[in-house]
Structure 1
Amino acid sequence: MSSIAKTPKPPYYAVIFTSLRTEVDEGYAEMAERMEALASEQPGFLGVESAREAVGITVSYWSDLESIKRWKADLDHREAQRLGREQWYSSFKTRISRVERDYGF
């Protein structure tokens, strides 16, 4: 992802996924691309920003908590979660936040 997500006027929600990778790389990039594409088709999805270095951070933006709940339960996303726990991540943390204010230029 090489752009800043275009989000609406707050309030909206951010799901912040922070991860540390394992040495296993097989299939990771393809799955990350697939999940971003699939998320973008979900009702309530607003955008995503991602940086993957020593610590990976992906922030996805959603219109409401129910949309986040549906995305977490999506079958393809659940498979990606399983593979992440079993192969790609040595640890991760997910945080869900309400965005009250944003600004930039």
Structure 2
Amino acid sequence: MNHLPYYSVIFTSALNKNTEDYNDMAEKMEALAKKQDGFLGIDSARNHIGITVSYWKNLDAIKNWKAQTDHLEAQQKGKNKWYAWYNVKICKVEREYSFQ
């Protein structure tokens, strides 16, 4: 990513049985996040437990994303409709490496 240091938001969740419209909203939120100032990237995987890690330039970018109007609506729907539980961790990334 080469923007060191940067921040990651780790969103771990389990869905309820009612997942109507969930995938559409998830796609909408990813597209919207990509347009936000300070957004750097995203990784996501879902099986029984879902893990989405988004990457941000700084803490202000994360704060602004959390307060974005459409994202606030999605958060409320998640609590009321889709999620059995979720957990959010915000971490500072100081070093990274990979193998390809």
Distance 2:59 2:79 in 1: 23
Q: Structure 1 residue aligned with 2:20, among 11, 20, 26?
A: 26
Q: How many equivalent residue pairs?
A: 99
* Structure-2 residue corresponding to 1:4: none
User: SS where residue 27 of structure 2 aligns?
Assistant: helix
Structure 1, unaligned stretches of length 5 or more? 1-6
TM superposition outliers: structure 1 runs of 4+ over 3 Å: none
1:14 to partner: Cα distance: 0.1
The percent of aligned pairs where both chains have the same amino acid is 54
Q: Structure 2 residue aligned with 1:92, among 79, 86, 94?
A: 86
* Structure-2 residue corresponding to 1:11: 5
TM-score (norm 2): 0.97
User: SS where residue 26 of structure 1 aligns?
Assistant: coil
TM-score (norm 1): 0.92
* Structure-2 residue corresponding to 1:71: 65
Structure 2, unaligned stretches of length 5 or more? none
1:8 to partner: Cα distance: 2.2
1:84 to partner: Cα distance: 0.3
Distance 1:56 1:87 in 2: 16
User: SS where residue 89 of structure 2 aligns?
Assistant: strand
* Structure-1 residue corresponding to 2:45: 51
